[in-house]
Structure 1
Amino acid sequence: MPKSVEILCPKCDWKPDGRAWWMCTCGHLWNTFETGGRCPACRKQWEETQCPNDGGGCGAISPHLDWYRGLDDWLIEELEQITILSPA
């Protein structure tokens, strides 16, 4: 993850602590941000992520990508680099 991107709940700014707070419908418990929202056990891709109440968060459900603060700016920078490096 680029240093310019920070993972925070888009509703309350709770920051994941690296623990396994998320449980898949298959029963597997894991840290969803280690896999980009994909359960490593059954491979289900989660489009939404809940901020864990038990971990000190707000319990709100948000799109998984909205947790990555600064991702848009990072992507723009990367695309500009591709444009600069591409032959004319």
Structure 2
Amino acid sequence: MRLYATIAATMLLAGCGFGPAKGGAELQVTGPSEAVAAFVRQQGAQIPSRATTFPQPVGNGKASARVMLPPGAGVATTQSVVQQAATAGLAIAVVAHR
């Protein structure tokens, strides 16, 4: 029974954007802690939601978080994330493209 519960939980989390994104780009946003937290919430509200890490403090009231785009995410999706980060006053960098 636990196996089925684990499989079901994994499927639900992956469908909600909390599963690992394999094959897509990984972007890092950095800026004021409150702005990064709001940005992470905004990404979770997308349909489908985008997988993100929890904000991590980097000092001086700033934080960073990563957004993992799904494989095959087009240019429009990447541009949308970059635009949302810029609007929030965050710096964004491509960390990896798997």
TM-score normalised by structure 2 residue count: 0.25
Q: As a proportion of its length, which structure holds more helix?
A: 2
TM-score relative to the length of structure 1: 0.26
Between Structure 1 and Structure 2, the one with more strand by share is 2
Q: Which has the higher contact order (CA 8 A, sep 6+)?
A: 2
Query: Larger Cα Rg: Structure 1 or Structure 2?
Result: 1
